[in-house]
Amino acid sequence: MRNKILKLISKQVWTSKIKNSSTLWLIGIFNGLLFFALFSGYKYLVNQQETVEHYSLEVRERWENRPDKHPHRMAHYGYVAFRNRFPLSFFDFGMDSYVGNAVFLEAHKQNTVNFSEASLSNGLLRFGEISAGMILQLLLPLLIFFWGFDMVAREREHGTLRILLTQGVSWQELILGKSLGLFALALSIFVPSVIVGFILLIFNEFASENPQSYIRFFFLIISYLAYFFILSVLAILVSAKAKSSKSALTSLIGFWLFFTLMLPKVSQVVGQNLFPSPSKIEFDTNVEQELIRQGDSHNPNDPHFKALKDSLLIAYNVDSTHKLPFNYSGYVMREGEKLSAETYKKHQAHLVETYQKQQNVVRFTAFLNPYMAIKNLSMALSGTDHSAYNDFQNQAEDFRYHLAQTMNELQIKYIGNKVKTSADKKAIISKKHWSDLPDFHHQFLSLIQVFKNEVISIISLIVWTLGLFFLVNYSIKNLKAF
């Protein structure tokens, strides 16, 4: 293919569209929508992070200023962990509005992450939010199809296509040249939003604490460029194969409906039917039943903990737990916490595995649907997908377990066996120990882990790009100029 011809054809596409006032209006409207989505998303992100920072400091201050008391009471006094928003979340909201933002951490119990935006807002949220990601994934493809449906079909109808081909232009050059011109029109909307998004990222003080934000933004740009190029080639190829402009428009609208509405919904239903997940009540019941089978640390006659007591008495050659060189109640609490945490993690891992299987059904449809590929990649790179949320849950649970076991260790070390209740003066330790517990810091997934989670989406975009080139070369054998 000759680069000069490609440049000439793409320039002709650009010039002919830009001369149309409706095209300029559409570009202006889309840029306006994108700027509004970016600025409103950025403002919400900053407000959310300031709120998290404020209450995180308040939680820490209250924890450290609690008076002298029994460490197990401190374990039940608990801690609150807040989910940080990734600096790029203003670009694509993903699941952020539908998952919780804070979780209360206490001994013996794994609480639900609460206070999602969906639970605190009115019913308008069910209609969706306007984010830059949503506009670029859902609305811009429709505009690309609207611009490209008649680029070849119209020339065939007007008789100019035959003249163009007789002058030495090949079908490959024609399709790729017009695809590049259509791609350039898409860039007139995408590039300004990238510039604004990059400026907002620079001014975001939280981005400086997470340098990988800039690397993620770079790969986010590459992903969207691949997506728009795929759609541009698809639009021109359909226009070239269609018998008329009307049939080309109908086909492209059908593709858009299939990509964005039909296939995502169908794949979700199929995934849920193939891999059904338990309800929250079922999940909690299963965990509780297994814990009952393992043993109750609060029941002195429980077989498991009675056997534990007997083994300790034999090991230390004493006839009473009061004669043990450490606090027996704290030892039992530590063992009970270990069992409950292991049981919960096992059931939680099984639940997450089920969710992953459901999601993989949706992910694999990306080989039939580039919309799913860019949607999953965009959420993952913006830090707003389910994997990011699940990672926060795991970090919060690890912190909860460490908190409970730290308090148990303090009880084992500093409290004697002869105390009768936790209100006994001898059962109270100094509050200086509270500050020894490290603060909770939510860490984001690494870029390598993000790519590992979305390898299917990445491969599907590559397959789509290569597949369309193959389809173009294969289709030109059957294309006609009249």
395-431: pLDDT as tens digits? 999 999 999 999 999 999 888 887 777 667 778 899 9
Q: How confident is the model at residue 249 (pLDDT cuts 50, 70, 90)?
A: very high
What is the torsional sign of CA 366, 368, 371, 372? negative
Most confident of 220-224, 305-309, 315-319, 423-427: 220-224
The pLDDT score that the predictor gives to residue 381 is: 96
Reply yes or no on whether the pLDDT at 225 is more than 50. yes
As beta bridge partners, residue 58 has none
Tell me which residue of 193, 268, 186, 178 sits closest to 227, measured CA to CA. 186
Most confident of 121-125, 131-135, 280-284, 296-300: 131-135
Contacting residues for 295 by C-beta, under 8 A, at least 6 apart: 302, 303, 304, 305, 336, 339
Query: How many angstroms separate the CA atoms of 172 and 467, rounded?
Result: 14
The pLDDT score that the predictor gives to residue 122 is: 53
The pLDDT score that the predictor gives to residue 202 is: 92
The pLDDT score that the predictor gives to residue 190 is: 97
Q: For the chain, give the percent of residues with pLDDT over 90.
A: 62
105-129: pLDDT as tens digits? 999 888 989 877 766 665 445 445 7
Centroid of chain to Cα 344: 23
160-183: pLDDT as tens digits? 888 887 887 888 889 999 999 999
Contacting residues for 308 by C-beta, under 8 A, at least 6 apart: 332, 335
- Residue 268 has, within 13 A of its CA and on its CB side, a CA count of 7
